[in-house]
């Protein structure tokens, strides 16, 4: 009996490094999925040319958002120590993403979707940080943003801890549409103060101008999608083809969402169908 116990402990000790490696690999894979697929951080942080993302510049910043209230420039979020976030600690990167605060205490302004990222679960935030550390560093100095509106002193009290959503399709879908993929940011009308009108969640109406011309975030509540099949909604999200077969234009990140897992897609659609209809 004694010997068996010893052997069991020994087996555990030998298994531990393998288990730790497997855990690390799972964390990185989750982080990759969140950053590259559902979160589509590259939609803003990777410079785009006429053919899409510029080669060799993944997450290296430089995209300019020229709007009435600001001229924001997406920063370099690769691990380059000089021009990226290579010198930041894990905790500092996490605080930047979820609290909108840099290591020097300055506030990160729009269009970084801060209102939504505050809801990111601890585990997912840790996975995103771990993954960002592994992307190839790119040297690319980016100019500073200029804000003609005052930025808040903070986006709220420090976020202590956020749990993963409950194992329920609608709860998981709500987490995806909000904190993870910020679908609701683009699909909710914006108030004159620059915040989303939370009483009209999903009603559409936000205007996007860019090399694609002008697009308007569409109504994605049951008011608009009632007659769509699940397959039609999925096709729109994954491939950018609307119900009538017309092609949807940027800035929605179809190129990233095409790789969304079937379970996440199902949960997302369950959530969209559960939303209060908005005219
Ligand atoms: C809609 C566009 C947009 C999306 C999507 C977006 N960001 Fe940002 N992000 C910005 C802009 C613009 C800034 C800089 C704002 C400023 O200058 O105050 C920024 C700032 C940052 C910073 C601070 C870097 C620095 O040097 O100041 C980090 C870190 C960051 N983003 C990470 C992420 C991650 C990770 C994701 C995906 C989960 C993401 N962002 C998604 C636009 C975006
Ligand atoms: C960066 C902004 C942005 C994000 C993020 C975004 N969308 Fe969109 N979406 C748009 C715009 C703009 C259009 C309309 C494009 C056009 O008119 O060509 C659109 C179109 C759609 C359509 C097609 C509606 C129709 O009538 O054809 C659906 C469905 C949709 N989005 C759902 C989503 C979901 C779900 C997510 C999150 C996974 C999401 N969107 C994320 C901006 C965005």
Q: Where are the beta strands (DSSP E) in the chain?
A: 48-49, 52-53, 64-66, 70-73, 146-147, 207-210, 213-216
Mean pLDDT for 10-14 is 49
Q: Residue 278 is encoded by which pair of tokens?
A: 């908005």
Distance separating alpha carbons of residues 79 and 87, to the nearest angstrom = 8
Residue nearest to atom 9 of ligand 1 (CA): 112
Examine the pLDDT at 262 and tell me if it is beyond 60. yes
- Three-state DSSP at 131 gives helix
Q: Residue 101 pairs with which residues in a beta bridge?
A: 107
SS3 for 181-215 is CCHHHHCCCECCCCCECHHHCCCCCCEEEECCEEE
Tell me how crowded residue 176 is: count the other CB atoms within 10 A of its CB. 21
Mean pLDDT for 9-35 is 82
Report whether residue 249 contacts ligand 2, using a CB cutoff of 6 Å. yes
Examine the pLDDT at 195 and tell me if it is beyond 80. no
**Cβ proximity of 223 and 205 under 8 Å:** no
Atom of ligand 1 lying closest to residue 107 CA: 18
- Three-state DSSP at 224 gives helix
> How far is C-alpha 210 from the chain's CA centre?
20
CA within 13 Å, CB half, 278: 19
- Three-state DSSP at 49 gives strand
Distance separating alpha carbons of residues 21 and 61, to the nearest angstrom = 31
Of all residues in the chain, what percent carry a pLDDT higher than 70?
A: 94
Report whether residue 97 contacts ligand 1, using a CB cutoff of 6 Å. yes
Examine the pLDDT at 2 and tell me if it is beyond 70. no
Cis ω for the linkage preceding 270 (within 30 of 0): no
Q: What is this structure's pTM?
A: 0.93
Determine the distance separating the centroid of ligand 2 and the alpha carbon of 20, expressed in angstroms. 39
Report whether residue 252 contacts ligand 1, using a CB cutoff of 6 Å. no
| Confidence tier at 1 by pLDDT (50, 70, 90) | very low
Examine the pLDDT at 204 and tell me if it is beyond 90. yes
Report whether residue 268 contacts ligand 1, using a CB cutoff of 6 Å. no
**Best substitution site from 44, 59, 187 to test ligand 1's pocket, by max atoms within 8 Å of Cβ?**
44
Condensed to tens digits (0 to 9), the pLDDT of residues 57-97 reads 999 999 999 888 899 999 999 999 999 999 999 999 999 99
Examine the pLDDT at 47 and tell me if it is beyond 60. yes
Distance separating alpha carbons of residues 67 and 211, to the nearest angstrom = 14
Condensed to tens digits (0 to 9), the pLDDT of residues 122-160 reads 999 999 999 999 999 999 999 999 999 899 999 999 999
């Amino acid at each position: 009996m004694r010997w068996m116990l010893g052997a069991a402990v020994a087996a555990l000790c030998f298994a531990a490094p393998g288990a730790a490696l497997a855990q690390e690999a799972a964390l990185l894979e989750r982080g990759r999925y969140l950053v590259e697929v559902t979160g589509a951080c590259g939609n803003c942080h990777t410079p785009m040319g006429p053919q899409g993302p510029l080669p060799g510049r993944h997450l290296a910043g430089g995209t300019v958002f020229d709007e009435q209230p600001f001229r924001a420039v997406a920063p370099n979020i690769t691990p380059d120590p000089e021009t990226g976030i290579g010198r930041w600690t894990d905790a500092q990167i996490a605080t930047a993403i979820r609290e909108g605060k840099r290591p020097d205490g300055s506030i990160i302004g729009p269009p970084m979707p801060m209102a939504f990222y505050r809801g990111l679960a601890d585990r997912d935030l840790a996975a995103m940080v771990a993954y960002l550390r592994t992307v190839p560093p790119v040297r690319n100095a980016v100019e500073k943003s200029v804000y003609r509106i005052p930025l808040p002193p903070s986006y709220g009290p420090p976020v202590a801890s956020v749990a993963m959503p409950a194992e329920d399709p609608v709860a998981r879908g709500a987490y995806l549409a909000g904190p993870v993929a910020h679908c609701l940011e683009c699909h909710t009308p914006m108030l004159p103060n620059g915040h989303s009108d939370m009483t009209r969640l999903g009603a559409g109406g936000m205007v996007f101008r860019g090399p694609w011309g002008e697009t308007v975030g569409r109504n994605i509540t049951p008011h608009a999608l009632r007659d769509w099949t699940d397959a039609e909604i999925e096709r729109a999200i994954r491939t950018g083809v609307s119900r009538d077969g017309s092609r949807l234009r940027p800035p929605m990140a179809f190129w990233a969402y095409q790789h969304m897992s079937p379970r996440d897609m199902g949960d997302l659609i369950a959530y969209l169908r559960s939303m209060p209809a908005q005219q």
